[in-house]
Amino acid sequence: MSELWDNIKRDLPELRKLQKETREMFGLEDLVYRFYHHSYKAYHARGITRDIVSALERLAPEGTEICSEFRKIVDDGTRENFSTAYNKDWDRHVRPVINALFHATYFLDMAVKYGGRYKKEPKLLPSGYAALLELYGLR
């Protein structure tokens, strides 16, 4: 677990910056609106999701991988390019895009929250930090 903690601390400034960018005007707030508005711009969530996943992958301790459940959620939400044909079945095609963004954002938020809140790795595990450990198969 300590290597994950060290990596979070090492990357905390970058993680905070990414979190801020995710929350800015054309980030999460706009992308969720675009989903409900049925705008192709909801597909821009794929790029933000990929950026977050890249940051999370850099946190992974040597020899660990991100869990398969998270990887599937991300793959389901980032593999398709937008097609106007998807407008006929919007929810089936675009909900996975937003779902992947929410899951990626959650783990980013947990890394920033606990990396910023504690000087040392928590021993009594708050749920959010325990979820991070699960993400890397460390719990």
Question: 77-80, long-range: CB within 8 Å, 24+ apart, which pairs?
Answer: 77/45, 77/46, 77/49, 77/101, 78/46, 78/49, 78/50
Q: Which domain holds residue 89?
A: 2-135
Counted domains in the chain: 1
Question: How many other β-carbons are positioned within 10 Å of the β-carbon of residue 5?
Answer: 20
Report the pLDDT averaged over residues 122-135: 94
pLDDT tens string 48-57:
999 999 999 9
Task: For residue range 65-118, list pLDDT tens digits in order.
Answer: 999 999 999 999 999 888 888 888 999 999 999 999 999 999 999 999 999 999
pLDDT of residue 1: 60
**Model pLDDT for residues 7-29, shown as the tens digit of each residue:** 999 999 999 999 999 988 778 99
